[in-house]
Amino acid sequence: MEPVNGAVASARDEVGDRRESADRDAPGREAGEVARSTFLNRADRANLLRYMAMMRSAEERAITLYRQGKIPGSFYDGAGQEAISVGSSYALGPRDRMCILHRDLGAHFVRGVTPDRYLANYMGRAGGVTGGRDGNLHFGDRELGCVGMVSMLPDMAPVATGMALSFKLRGEPRVAMTYFGDGSTANGQWHEALNFAGVHLLPVVFVLENNGFAYSTPNELEFAVDPVERAATYGFPGELIDGNDVEAVFEASRIAAARAREGGGPTLIECRTMRMHGHGAHDDMRYVPPEMFEEWSARDPIDRYGERLVAEHGFSADEVERIRAEVKAYVDECAQTALASPMPDPATATDGVFADDLTPLGDGKAPWSYWAERPDVERSAA
Amino acid sequence: MEPVNGAVASARDEVGDRRESADRDAPGREAGEVARSTFLNRADRANLLRYMAMMRSAEERAITLYRQGKIPGSFYDGAGQEAISVGSSYALGPRDRMCILHRDLGAHFVRGVTPDRYLANYMGRAGGVTGGRDGNLHFGDRELGCVGMVSMLPDMAPVATGMALSFKLRGEPRVAMTYFGDGSTANGQWHEALNFAGVHLLPVVFVLENNGFAYSTPNELEFAVDPVERAATYGFPGELIDGNDVEAVFEASRIAAARAREGGGPTLIECRTMRMHGHGAHDDMRYVPPEMFEEWSARDPIDRYGERLVAEHGFSADEVERIRAEVKAYVDECAQTALASPMPDPATATDGVFADDLTPLGDGKAPWSYWAERPDVERSAA
Amino acid sequence: MSAATEVTYLEAISDGLRQEMRRDPSVLCIGEDIGAFGGAFKVTDGFIEEFGAGRVMDAPLAENAIIGAAVGAAAEGLRPVCEMQFADFISCGFDQLVNVAAKMHYRQGLAVPMVVRLPSGGGFSGGPFHSQNPEAWFLQSPGLKVVAPATAADAKGLLTAAIRDPNPVCYLEHKGLYRYVKGEVPAGEHEVALGEARLAREGGELSVITYGSGVHLALEAAADLDEDIEVLDLRSLCPLDTEAILASARKTGKVLVAHEATQSCGVGAEVAALVAAEAFEDLDGPVRRLTAPDVPIPFSPPLEQAVLPQLDDMKEACRELLAY
Amino acid sequence: MSAATEVTYLEAISDGLRQEMRRDPSVLCIGEDIGAFGGAFKVTDGFIEEFGAGRVMDAPLAENAIIGAAVGAAAEGLRPVCEMQFADFISCGFDQLVNVAAKMHYRQGLAVPMVVRLPSGGGFSGGPFHSQNPEAWFLQSPGLKVVAPATAADAKGLLTAAIRDPNPVCYLEHKGLYRYVKGEVPAGEHEVALGEARLAREGGELSVITYGSGVHLALEAAADLDEDIEVLDLRSLCPLDTEAILASARKTGKVLVAHEATQSCGVGAEVAALVAAEAFEDLDGPVRRLTAPDVPIPFSPPLEQAVLPQLDDMKEACRELLAY
Ligand SMILES: Cc1ncc(C[n+]2csc(CCOP(=O)(O)OP(=O)(O)O)c2C)c(N)n1
Ligand SMILES: Cc1ncc(C[n+]2csc(CCOP(=O)(O)OP(=O)(O)O)c2C)c(N)n1
Ligand SMILES: [Mg+2]
Ligand SMILES: [Mg+2]
């Protein structure tokens, strides 16, 4: 995957100046306030843009495939929420673990899944991450340290908690991260996971994507008080941030991961955002007041970050444009690869209900150069 | 049931002076501080003592029956927690509804269940509330407005919430009340119920009995922060009170019920207490530090209330003694009735899996004279 | 018989529900996205406008709370109809269903009239969490009635009966039939008694005993094969119409039990066991089952088709038994 | 064969668990009150002293969290053994079990080696929530292995195998057998392969196919009746030893399937259906079932006895089939 790799490689040169220890006391930011991380160099910033653009492009490509009838079943995307999965996963190390949800394609890309495997998965091809066994974003590449989500929400919260438990039991400085939406906070498993993680101060980072709705159900019908307030009652910090600001997400995640790694326990990060598409492709969003779209269009995480790269970080407008164009071209290539992948062999349909042996999780890609330079961590090749 | 009825009747004479509207702004009391309700008259106070003593006597009688092999299965009681179920249920009206838990025998008595039916239920007799279908305190007398608990904790929280929902939908000034223990707050259903009740501001009173342990598991392994703190994050008040002070429990419940009735939504009342017996009769409580018993013995809710009746409410020591003795004699009588009840007919074992018609809930007894005198409420005969 | 109009299975469900809500003010709906959105499958489209948000209640994402609240409301005299967004999500409300709702009457003599609507079934790449047929879980949970209509008329008639029944009823509506199946449905009140199977096709050589999507597969296979095949549509899985099952088995002497759910301990096992116990002397051949094998339902079309019983599988199974 | 000592079924479970924890540092226990208290049935008595609170973890009262955390820990290379305080409480962890644990390998190629210990069964006035036998729910949830030992040796051997297996295994330990059953158990490592039935008694006239508490009832009945009865102890319910079942059915030509769980869609239905399909030509009589009827298990002894299969019921059922 050329464009991203190049950028990641160059990031290694600039790492020396920011190997500070994690800042555990950074104050929470108000939603809307622009964040600027001192832990990111130029290459990282290009990466953040690139991964967000990749998510956008891949999902747009997928929508086309869906409209062409190449994607069976339904289609779900995370348009408008790209900053969350990209910014948060970018703060993790290779041996950290993730359970990635249905709006979080960017995190799969950061971990190392390539768009062809995503597209192939949606099309039910043999080359998809699950080889046609499951669809949508119901996948996790175990070789990249991910456990694939199930539909039932937020079932991955207890699972991530269990991974964090194993890190704590073994004394490993590792972190598990998972996501859930605002609606999912009403479910009992959310509570069970957060309570359990709080009791044992487990190294887990919970990322709440509050996009205002659970399918069609607005926040008012999901909870009476913003769930970020509950974190304190589980015994750990809750931070409310602007989910459309990728550096704010990165910073909050970096701090949370560092705290977790040092034995400080979980963090709940609430990212305020807006789902700009329907819950699924069939959803006309008639339940959303039109002015909400206008408001949030102006806060598009990718456009906004591109502008900031130019205004504050010495990128030229051309450079930003080129990154986005390169990504788009790359995704188009990936779509061809995916389309060339065959359908799975029906004769295999009943294979693998049971495992014959153990298949341990592998390590994920961790492009953040802070990790890349750590002598104790082997940076994975892309 | 002579002694209690007599007392209830006389309470009606003294009600005039305290028909104030419910005090919604009464401040929460710290655990340990002694409460004194202006909503109770002399007869009420005798009743509170009587019902607590009745719970104690009935459970002691049941332990004997258990030791004699007359109670099959296991045995559970609420020794030391009598003030909670008695004080809280005493604040309700006849058309209010209750889901009563395993430490809350007193509430059944306040609603109108007689000890013979409790003892018969534990012995699996036809005369028990469930006629031998279920044991323990897994019963609710539907004619008294109660829905019987199931083992799974805290499953009655959503059920009580649903009853409250129906009151709200029909615009009825009624209240549902249910109980759960400290351990049960870790379960997902607890969260689902409280969240749902908060979103819709339903007229439900949640009584948390924090007796320090879930079976053998101490508070520290159940939650990191006292669950009473969570009430605010569900959008309603949480009050921490001394669960061994029956008037404190009554007052908190009265205020919560009044708020619920007026559309003010749910309340979570945490009653701090201590379970003075094992989780079940088989439990040697080796997990409890001995000094805890000493500390809490000194705070026995019945002894303490008897002393207060003498010191502050013009009861003579003899009078208190007589109430307790009468209750004991009454319970002994009830035990004879229970023992005379036959075992259920095995031929009926498979009857009634399905209902053939509807059997609406009836109204409970409501001995608190505040209710007894309300013209719109028919006080049930005992 | 009242006037009948041709409607889809999905419309029949909506119509039945709307009619009961109009008739009986104690009927209310509770579920995720059933209000303004009209439900994931639009069964309650327009309901919130007609009945208001109190009777068409958008619930938080919390299935145990939905079913538990329904139990409480039912105990208070309402008749809640819960919608699981997909039948698969019943796993998240399972405890309230099997422990609280199911056992209430037996334990306490308290009736809890409530319906749990369960959009079930596969065939359209719903994958492992949007394709399940969980009916057998319910049959192993005494106290639940279970119905699974195959036709539009039964969709309405069984829903009406389920709502009027004083017990918790699991109502399995097969998503594959929503728009695929159309039929005459009585326009007025229409109730189909719980517990009565329907003879969907008469025949003398082989009984295909089935329900839900299996009925259509069986009818198509019977028509294609042009053989003397009887098709019994169970409709109610609990109570099960054992008389109708045994009568058909005794008549034809050969039984194929078919369903889309996975095999082990499925409804097919129950029916086969019943036949093997009670109609043994009349059997002219082994009792066979055509079901999904014991695997999660895969997403990709070729895999899903390999797992779910197809028309050819049905024909093959019929042929084999006929030839026995 | 290694040295054997006479221990109870309960001790055998403890011993097996302790031995695996000693052998393999990745094995850990998680459940309610299993630490200082040693578990509701004392299976883990003394474990926290030997293995520490990290490996003998007292969990909050939250079954989905317990099972979900176990899935996460298993994915990370640990081998968690979860204890449900009673099997009945699996309804509260059902979703994680059937959707997350069961389907993980099929969907994702990720093995989740974990055991869920389920103290099951009735007969001692446990009532509707402490007496259930939920195994059929698991058989309708592809991806779960299910075992149900009847003897002390199998209790240890199957637990050992379950812990070593790379899949989620539901381990049903019948509470009625805890202290009632005693037997020789190999003192060292002892593993009984999952999926192999055990011929508990050889006979030629009738096969009683059963498991768990049913095995003891069947053996007692066979001894009392003094007839040529074969008793097949399934031990594993998934995978099911279909060969052993069919071999026995073909040999005797008469089959009684017996278990304590309720009837509809139970394991008995599955075994009967299997026999009716595959051994039809060798059957000399109807396939019969002896199970609990479809009711919640009542508390009071006379009611409970009327519901759970008793020795007399077993004898009667055997006699009837023998006389057929
Ligand atoms: C337990 C459960 N019940 C119902 C659903 C159906 N469902 C799928 S997504 C969704 C809304 C989720 O909302 P939210 O958590 O806010 O996530 P978002 O999709 O907005 O990111 C619902 C109800 C589900 N996935 N899981
Ligand atoms: C869902 C569930 N899991 C496990 C149990 C087994 N169990 C019975 S009582 C109990 C402890 C309850 O503790 P708490 O809620 O504090 O109530 P207490 O008994 O102390 O009043 C447990 C674990 C249960 N009843 N329900
Ligand atoms: Mg959302
Ligand atoms: Mg407690």
Q: Specify whether the backbone of D265 is left (phi greater than 0), alpha (psi in -120 to 50) or beta.
A: left
Tell me how far the alpha carbon of residue A189 lies from the centroid of ligand 4, in angstroms.
21
Contact C105 B147 (CB under 8 A): no
For all residues of chain B together, what is the average pLDDT?
Answer: 90
What is the pLDDT, as a whole number, of residue C195?
98
CATH for the stretch B34-342? 3.40.50.970
Which two tokens mark B59? 């459970």
What is the pLDDT, as a whole number, of residue A36?
81
Q: Where are the domains of chain A?
A: 34-342
What is the pLDDT, as a whole number, of residue B20?
32
Tell me how far the alpha carbon of residue A222 lies from the centroid of ligand 1, in angstroms.
11
Contact B169 C78 (CB under 8 A): yes
Please say if the pLDDT value at position A75 is more than 70: yes
Which two tokens mark C146? 């279970």
Contact C110 B147 (CB under 8 A): yes
The string of pLDDT tens digits covering residues A302-317 is 999 999 999 999 999 9
As a whole-number percent, the residues of chain C with pLDDT over 90 amount to: 98
Give the DSSP letter string of B243-295. Answer: TT-HHHHHHHHHHHHHHHHTT---EEEEEE----S-SSTT---TTS-HHHHHH
- Among the options C105, C130, C174, C259, which is catalytic? C130
What is the pLDDT, as a whole number, of residue C113?
98
Which stretches in chain D have pLDDT values below 50?
A: 1
A151: Cβ below 6 Å to ligand 1?
yes
Band of pLDDT at residue A369, cut at 50, 70 and 90: confident
Q: How far apart are CA A277 and CA D78, in angstroms?
A: 40
Question: Strand, coil or helix: what is D15?
Answer: helix
What is the pLDDT, as a whole number, of residue A37?
86
Residues D196, D166 contacting (CB under 8 angstroms): no
- What is the average pLDDT across A20-28? 33
What is the pLDDT, as a whole number, of residue B100?
98
What is the pLDDT, as a whole number, of residue D5?
82
Residues D82, D116 contacting (CB under 8 angstroms): yes
On chain D, the residues whose CB falls within 8 A of the CB of B221 are: 58-60
Torsion of CA A33, A37, A41, A44, to 10 degrees: -70
Please say if the pLDDT value at position B379 is more than 50: no
What is the pLDDT, as a whole number, of residue B371?
72
What is the pLDDT, as a whole number, of residue D117?
99
What is the pLDDT, as a whole number, of residue C165?
98
What is the pLDDT, as a whole number, of residue A32?
46
What is the pLDDT, as a whole number, of residue B373?
56
C32: Cβ below 6 Å to ligand 1?
yes
Please say if the pLDDT value at position A42 is more than 70: yes
Question: Strand, coil or helix: what is D73?
Answer: helix
- What is the average pLDDT across A138-148? 98
On chain D, the residues whose CB falls within 8 A of the CB of B188 are: 62, 64-65, 92
Q: Which of D79, D66, D98 is nearest to D17 (CA)?
A: D79
What is the pLDDT, as a whole number, of residue A33?
52
CA atoms within 13 A on the CB side of B101: 27
What is the pLDDT, as a whole number, of residue B163?
98
Distances (CA, A) of C192 to C151, C156, C162, C195, C238: 12, 8, 9, 9, 14
Q: Which atom of ligand 2 is nearest to the CA of B78?
A: 21
Q: Which of A176, A153, A136, A102 is nearest to A361 (CA)?
A: A176
Band of pLDDT at residue C200, cut at 50, 70 and 90: very high
As a whole-number percent, the residues of chain B with pLDDT over 70 amount to: 88
Please say if the pLDDT value at position B1 is more than 90: no
Band of pLDDT at residue B264, cut at 50, 70 and 90: very high
Alpha helices in C76-230 (DSSP H): 94-95, 104-108, 135-139, 152-164, 213-225
What is the pLDDT, as a whole number, of residue B37?
86
Residues A157, A194 contacting (CB under 8 angstroms): yes
- What is the average pLDDT across A249-278? 97
Question: Strand, coil or helix: what is D257?
Answer: strand
Please say if the pLDDT value at position B7 is more than 50: no
Beta strands D288-292 and D255-262 are: parallel
On chain C, the residues whose CB falls within 8 A of the CB of D241 are: none
Q: How far apart are CA D45 and CA A253, in angstroms?
A: 41
The string of pLDDT tens digits covering residues B10-52 is 333 333 332 233 332 333 444 445 678 889 999 999 999 999 9
Three-state secondary structure string covering B50-83? HHHHHHHHHHHHHHHHHHCCCCCCCCCCCCCCHH
Spatial neighbors of A376 by CB under 8 A, at least 6 apart, are none
Give the DSSP letter string of C206-265. Answer: EEEEE-THHHHHHHHHHHHHT--EEEEE--EEETT-HHHHHHHHHHHS-EEEEEEEESTT
Is A191 in the B-facing interface, judged by CB distances under 8 Å?
Answer: yes
Residues B23, B38 contacting (CB under 8 angstroms): no
The angle subtended at Cα C134 by Cα C129 and Cα C138, nearest 5°, is 145
* Residue of B188, B201, B236 lying closest to A188 (CB–CB): B188
Please say if the pLDDT value at position B376 is more than 50: no
Which two tokens mark B25? 């702004």
Please say if the pLDDT value at position A23 is more than 60: no
On chain D, the residues whose CB falls within 8 A of the CB of C91 are: 94-95, 98-99
Angle between the N-to-C axes of helices C267-278 and C242-252, in degrees from 0 to 180, rounded to the nearest 10 = 60
What is the model's pTM?
A: 0.95
Q: Which of B195, A226, A279 is nearest to C33 (CA)?
A: A279
What is the pLDDT, as a whole number, of residue A16?
30
Dihedral (CA of D314, D315, D318, D320) sign = negative
Q: How far apart are CA A184 and CA C60, in angstroms?
A: 8
**ipTM entry:** 0.96
| Domain architecture of chain C: domains with CATH | 4-186 (3.40.50.970), 198-322 (3.40.50.920)
What is the pLDDT, as a whole number, of residue C125?
98
Q: Which of C108, C265, C283 to mutate to test the interface with D (most CBs of D within 10 A)?
A: C265
Q: How far apart are CA B71 and CA B78, in angstroms?
A: 17
Give partners of B (≥3 CB pairs < 8 A). Answer: A, C, D
Band of pLDDT at residue A38, cut at 50, 70 and 90: confident
What is the pLDDT, as a whole number, of residue A4?
37
> Residue C49's CB: how many other CB atoms inside 10 A?
11
Between A207-211, B146-150, B283-287, B313-317, the lowest mean confidence (pLDDT) is in: B283-287
Q: How far apart are CA A53 and CA D243, in angstroms?
A: 57
Beta strands D168-174 and D145-147 are: parallel
Which two tokens mark B119? 């003892």
Please say if the pLDDT value at position A31 is more than 80: no
Does residue D216 have an active-site annotation?
no
The string of pLDDT tens digits covering residues B99-142 is 999 999 999 999 999 999 999 999 999 999 999 999 999 999 99
Please say if the pLDDT value at position A17 is more than 80: no
The string of pLDDT tens digits covering residues B252-261 is 999 999 999 9
Show the beta-strand stretches assigned E in chain A: 97-99, 176-181, 204-210, 213-214, 217-218, 238-242, 267-272
Query: Using omega within 30 degrees of 0 as the cis cutoff, is the peptide bond preceding B203 cis?
Result: no
Torsion of CA B308, B309, B313, B314, to 10 degrees: -120
Q: Which atom of ligand 1 is nearest to the CA of C32?
A: 23
Q: How far apart are CA A122 and CA A118, in angstroms?
A: 6
Tell me how far the alpha carbon of residue B314 lies from the centroid of ligand 3, in angstroms.
60
* DSSP conformational letter for D300: S
